[in-house]
Amino acid sequence: MPYRTTQPPDPGKALFRPLTWAKTACTITGRRLHAVPDAIAARLDWDVTVTHWGLGRVYRDRRFGVTVENPPPRAPEELP
């Protein structure tokens, strides 16, 4: 078994511990706050984007992306 030495803890990681706790608290709060709208969006097959550490939501209907990004092909006589 190779000889191992333990490294002292990184002082930079200690600074992020309060932020990790705050981010986790925001995520849990956001899930509880947006549970009903998220369920409705899932039933309607919408995309849900979580923003602002879990406290914000952006809802988008997938059909809008289909019509804008991938229009249906047109016949040659219909082209301008």
Say what the pLDDT of residue 65 is. Answer: 63
Q: Which residues, 6+ apart, have CB-to-CB distance to 26 below 8 Å?
A: 52, 53, 54, 55
Kindly list the domain boundaries of the chain, sorted by start residue.
17-72
Cα separation, 70 vs 54, whole angstroms: 31
Question: pTM here?
Answer: 0.59
Joined together, the tokens standing for residue 17 give 């511990």
Mean pLDDT of 44-59: 93
Cα separation, 55 vs 34, whole angstroms: 8
Q: How do residues 1-31 score in pLDDT, each as one tens digit?
A: 566 666 666 666 666 677 888 888 999 999 9
Say what the pLDDT of residue 13 is. Answer: 66
